[in-house]
Amino acid sequence: MSALAVLLPRQPAAVGSEWGAARMPSALRSRKTIAALAILGAVWTAAAWAAAPVDRPSVLALAVKWAPLIFGGFLFNLLVSVAAMALGTAAGVLLGLAQISLLRPVQAASWAVTQFFRNAPWLVLLFFAMFLLPFEWRIGGVTVPFPAWLKAMLGLALPVLANVSEIVRGGVLSIPLGQWESAESLAFSRRQILWRIILPQAVKRMIPPWMNLYAILTMATTLISVVGIQDAMTLTRGALVAEARTDLYLPLYFMLLLMFFAYCYPIARYTQVLERRFAVRG
């Protein structure tokens, strides 16, 4: 706890003035960010170590002891994120294409579905999926269990599909009308125009927001701990309950934060790189 008081004033100052906003080569900047985090973590651990009573295992030893379990949980979060993203993307692409359909009812229905799921809190959608879907399916005479983690994955896929739908629609609409017009004048059919001319150009513009959405989804997978699934968050809480040590709270949650950071930060950086690259050619 005392370590936190020492460190808090340091961090914003460092990020704000010296390292963060200044225009630096991106590799250098990201190295500095990671260095800052490493220092933060090291000082924290050392402080916690020093503060630990001699007759009890140190905070560091406990963190090392629980790390594999929590990391396993973290891998499960990643699995959920990849599955929800894949499902949400597949459904979202179809929904997004339906949004630009010339058939009024198709367009209106897909628009409504998109807006509904896009403007709903993710946690509420997750509960919605957990309680709406049955815990098992009866197909013929066979009972197929429908595990909670699968339901949670579907629940997270809902906001993803709505956001992907908007990314697809926006990407298609971002292509100048002249492209449609010239393709039409060359007698291409609407389907050919979409698949051969518009989408190949639009996909490039869709990738950065799609990756951004994935990073947000990955962080949001910790929500599934609320509905009782054994993810990294649940396991961390379990470890803390098992140890019953208040000085372990911050280090353990910080370790979990670091895992997510190590995974999501490179995605965010690469998204920016892509955005810049596509912006030049635009």
Partner 1 sequence: MNPGHVLGAPIVVLNRVEKRFGDNPVLRDVSFSVARGECVCVIGPSGSGKSTLLRAINALVPISAGSIAVDGIEVNDPKLDKLALRRRVGIVFQQYNLFPHKTALDNVMMAPIHVLKENPAEVEARARALIAKVRLTGKEAAYPGELSGGQQQRVAIARALAMNPKVMLFDEVTAALDPETKKEVLVTVRELAAEGMTCLLVTHEMGFAREVADHVYFTEDGVIVEHGPPAEFFGSPKQARTRAFLDQVL
Query: Would you count residue 200 as binding partner 1 (CB under 8 A)?
Result: yes
Stretch that binds partner 1, among 31-39, 143-151, 175-183, 255-263 (CB under 8 A): 175-183
Q: How far is the CB of 183 from partner 1 (least distance, A)?
A: 8
Find the DSSP H helices in 144-186: 148-173, 177-185
For residues 12 and 176, which CB has a smaller minimum distance to partner 1 in the complex?
A: 176
DSSP assignment of 206-228 equals: HHHHHHHHHHHHHHHGGGGGTTT
Instruction: Report phi then psi at 145, rounded to 5.
Output: -70, 150
Query: Would you count residue 178 as binding partner 1 (CB under 8 A)?
Result: yes
161 vs 80: CA distance, rounded Å:
15
Half-sphere exposure for 177 (CA within 13 Å, toward CB) = 0
Q: How far is the CB of 102 from partner 1 (least distance, A)?
A: 15
Which residues 218-277 are close enough to bind partner 1 by CB under 8 A? none
Half-sphere exposure for 114 (CA within 13 Å, toward CB) = 25
Q: How far is the CB of 175 from partner 1 (least distance, A)?
A: 10
Q: How far is the CB of 72 from partner 1 (least distance, A)?
A: 43
* Binding test (CB under 8 A) with partner 1, winner from 107, 201, 212, 272: 201
Which residues 179-198 are close enough to bind partner 1 by CB under 8 A? 179, 181-188, 192, 196-197
For residues 143 and 192, which CB has a smaller minimum distance to partner 1 in the complex?
A: 192
**From residue 176, how far is each of 10, 171, 181, 185, 253 by CA, in Å?**
48, 11, 9, 15, 47
For residues 141 and 178, which CB has a smaller minimum distance to partner 1 in the complex?
A: 178
User: Can you read off the two tokens belonging to residue 176?
Assistant: 């100048």
User: Can you read off the two tokens belonging to residue 199?
Assistant: 């989408």
Q: Name the site residues for partner 1 (rule: CB under 8 A).
A: 176, 178-179, 181-188, 192, 196-197, 200-201, 281
